[in-house]
Amino acid sequence: MNYAVPLFVILLIMVPAVFVGKYRDQWIHDQSELQAMQEEQIPNKGSVEILNGCGKKGLSDIYASFLRKNRFDVKKTGNVIVNNTSIWNYSKTMVISRTKDMQLAQEVATLLQTEPPVFIRTDYNESDVTVIIGHDYGDFTNEQQVPASR
């Protein structure tokens, strides 16, 4: 009977350890999958701000979603505002580079199928590229569809 107590104690310790080990391995696997998904979703291209210059509600958020899916880091969305007034008279979508290196702006312009980007530097730039959406905005009826300027 002296052997029964230690065997019971060993089983009492071993059984939970087996289950803990199994769940620990699954947890480690889940954590590595989660980290891979997060790394995949982190934008790796420069910062972009998107401003609605045509007045169609929600358009800057749609463009932001499209650019994020294409790995751009969209920092800001909103409307074109001058003197506390929204401006809706942009006929063409514009891509503006806020840095002298025009490569990022060119990538955005190519993706959005707009005219080539222009360089305009101001004192309050928060992003590398500004997109001003005009009345020629593209259609996002299909997630994979690249917006085409009309």
Total structural domains within the chain: 2
Helix (H, G, I), strand (E, B) or coil at 17: helix
In a domain, 129, yes or no: yes
Residue 109, pLDDT above cutoff 60? yes
Provide the whole-model pTM.
0.67
The reply to whether 103 and 84 lie within a common domain is yes
The reply to whether 93 and 129 lie within a common domain is yes
The reply to whether 35 and 50 lie within a common domain is no
In a domain, 140, yes or no: no
* pLDDT tens track for 14-71: 666 655 555 656 656 666 666 666 555 556 788 999 999 999 999 999 999 999 989 9
The reply to whether 115 and 55 lie within a common domain is yes
The reply to whether 126 and 54 lie within a common domain is yes
Domain that holds residue 94: 45-133
Residue 93, pLDDT above cutoff 50? yes
The reply to whether 65 and 104 lie within a common domain is yes
In a domain, 148, yes or no: no
Q: What percent of the chain has pLDDT over 90?
A: 50
Pairwise CA distance, residues 28 & 31, whole Å: 5
Which residues make Cβ contacts (< 8 Å) with residue 93, sequence separation at least 6?
A: 112, 114, 115, 131, 132, 133, 134, 136, 137, 138, 149
The reply to whether 50 and 38 lie within a common domain is no
The reply to whether 55 and 120 lie within a common domain is yes
Q: What is the CATH number of the domain that holds 95?
A: 3.30.70.2390
In a domain, 142, yes or no: no
Percentage helix, strand, coil for the chain under 3-state DSSP, each rounded to 5: 40, 20, 40
